[in-house]
Structure 1
Amino acid sequence: MKNPVAALAVLCALLLANSAPAQEVTVYTSASFAPLMLADGRGMYPDLIDYLNERKLGTFTFRLRYMPRKRLQVKLEDGSIDGMVIGMMPEWFDDVEQKKYLWSVPFATDRYALVSLAAKPVSPDAPAGLVGASVGITRGYHYPGIDAWLDSSRMLRSEGPSDEKNLEKLLLGRLDCVVVAESMARYFMRANGMTARLHLVTLASAPTERRMLAPRSQAAAFDKVAPVLKKLKNDPAWQRIVATYQ
């Protein structure tokens, strides 16, 4: 470069860019079940956080942290949340118009399923068989698209701490059926060799979406993450990761 002043300016800019301190952003999840979160620390969500960090999104780095659903919702509502939240959908936070929070596009979709014992199957297509049946649901969860069906079914709701615990209660004969995310149920059945023992029916409802949510105070980090999430479905590298959990 012929102009030494210009060359010095470029060098200084590069040094400043390289010396900018990393900003760690906490990404919260209330999920505690496979395949999103596995007991050994792996799972789709940890893998997605690793994927984001590998992309070197400016000065941001991301770490995943679990927080119970009720506490997470309270901190979002009172504005004290100090990071982003993974795996949520606007309907769960009364934000269908997406004005309260920043929302990414869905990076994954799922559906609800009704799981029962194969020896004693429960079918949503046989309403008479639902009346009085005990159905496991997860405490604190909302089920957009099927809440009305649950009410009209006249099943007896039994709240449990997690989908996995509800499935364990089903296997012990303490529940007649369980409402659960289909991806979780299929992973549980395959990982535990329960495919022949459990009966799964996908419920007729709109797909549930997994998005990244951010309070507006996290707009700078969100603006780095959102474009990456938008391209996930077309990224072979990410699809290979997803395939390991299917």
Structure 2
Amino acid sequence: MVKMLRQGFGRLCLLFVITSTAAASEITMLRAVVSDSNTPPYAIFDESGALSAGLSKDILDALSQVSQLNIQYLDLPRARIESWLETGQADIACFLNPDWVAEPSLYLWSPPLFATQQLFIRRADSPPIKGLADLAGKRVGTTRGFTYPELEQVFALGDVIRDDANSLQRNLKRLEQGRLDVVMSVDLSYYFFINNGGPGHFNADPIWSTPPSVYCAISRFHPELAVRLIAGLNTLLESKFISRQLRRYLGETAGLVN
């Protein structure tokens, strides 16, 4: 009886492996989320609203090639990304961090792609931001749907006023008009903006915390696909492809990238 049970279990395991392998081989499409809340150069959209360029497209196009997959881009609001990954409606979303999502254990995580420094952008004639005390009572321009771990408590208490917009450009315009005191940005987006004709009458102060790394969050819905994607991202990192793309977008500030 024991021998028969073992034989039956062995056949079941073999069937599972064959079925899983067949299912993995049938997956030909990579469904990648790139939201329009990702500022240039993370994502660049054309006049029709289609993703046309940017670091996200560079990385995900290269990932689809090394993983031998076709790619479909999904433009979702930031608030819907997590639920689509959880339910298997999307396969991957990049430039996230486990600290920025509600339940990080619900996803698989890639190796770190690179570190990104949060910046306080202010008018050049205003005093520098060196700590939380310098933000007291100020209106801070933030991106809708994004999390700012270092400031969440003061936002919740009302000591600092969070004021959302859909884009960095919109926030910087409001800062220029005096409708905001400070704008939150990341180094890559801000320096790309400045290097491509943005006004130079702002100053940038780095936030006091260690620059966090960004990752790709990968759906657990198709484990075999997830293995292929993590392997592909490792290939892109080992070849320095991502570092080269970062330097290309930073231009004259490329020395800021490690």
Q: Given the two structures, how large is their TM-score scaled by the length of structure 2?
A: 0.75
Q: Distance between the aligned counterparts of 2:155 and 2:210, measured in 1? A: 15
1:21 to partner: Cα distance: 6.3
* Cα offset, 1:125, TM superposition: 4.2
- The reply to whether residue 203 of structure 1 matches residue 211 of structure 2 is no
**How do 1:106-121 and structure 2 match up within 5 A?**
106-121=112-127
Letter in 2 for 1:213: A
* CA deviation profile, 1:182-236 (whole Å, cap 9, x unmatched): 2211211221243x31110110123233212122113222211212323434424
Partner of 2:57: 46
Residue matched to 1:62: 71
One-letter code aligned to 2:93: V
Q: C-alpha displacement at 1:23, in angstroms?
A: 0.8
**Local SS of the residue matching 1:244:** helix
Matched residue of 1:36: which SS? coil
Aligned equivalents of 2:90, 2:138: Cα separation in 1: 42
Runs (5+) with no aligned partner, structure 2: 1-24, 47-51, 251-258
Structure-1 separation of matches of 2:150 and 2:137: 21
* Residues 49-71 of structure 1: per-residue CA shift (max 9 Å, x gap): 2212332x24x222332210112
In 2 relative to 1, CA 237–139 (structure 1 residues): closer, same or farther, beyond 3 Å? closer
Name the aligned partner's letter for residue 71 of structure 2. F
Judge conservation of contact 1:36–1:45 (CA < 8 Å) in 2.
yes
Matches within 5 A, 1:78-157: 79=87, 81-96=89-104, 99-125=105-131, 127=133, 129-148=134-153, 154-157=159-162
Contact 1:104 1:212 in 2 (8 A): yes
Q: Report if aligned partners of 1:121, 1:199 keep a CA contact under 8 Å in 2.
A: no
Report the count of equivalent residues.
Answer: 221
> Matched residues in 1 for 2:94 and 2:131: separation?
34
Aligned CA RMSD, in angstroms, stands at: 2.7
Q: Is the 8 A contact 1:37 1:43 kept in 2?
A: yes
2:230 aligned with 1:226: yes
Taking structure 1 as reference, are residues 197 and 147 closer, same or farther at Cα in structure 2, changes over 3 Å only?
same
Indicate the residue corresponding to 2:245 in structure 1: 241
Hey, which of these two has a bigger chunk of helix by percent? 2
Q: Partner amino acid for 1:68?
A: P
2:57 paired with 1:73 = no
Q: Give percent identity, aligned residues only.
A: 22
Task: Please tell me whether the aligned partners of residues 136 and 166 of structure 1 are also in contact (alpha carbons under 8 angstroms).
Answer: yes
Residues 1:203 and 1:136: Cα distance change in structure 2 (over 3 Å)? same
Q: 1:235 to 1:201 in 2, by over 3 A?
A: same
Q: Tell me, yes or no, if the aligned pair for 2:42 and 2:55 is still in contact at 8 Å.
A: yes
Please give the secondary structure, in 1, of the residue aligned with 2:231.
Answer: helix
The separation in 1 between residues aligned to 2:227 and 2:27, in whole angstroms, is: 16
Find the counterpart in structure 1 of residue 10 from structure 2: none
* Contact in 1 for aligned 2:34/2:43 (Cα 8 Å): no
Looking at structure 2, the residues matched to 233 and 193 of structure 1 have their Cα atoms a distance apart, in angstroms, of: 31
Q: Secondary structure at the match of 2:213?
A: strand
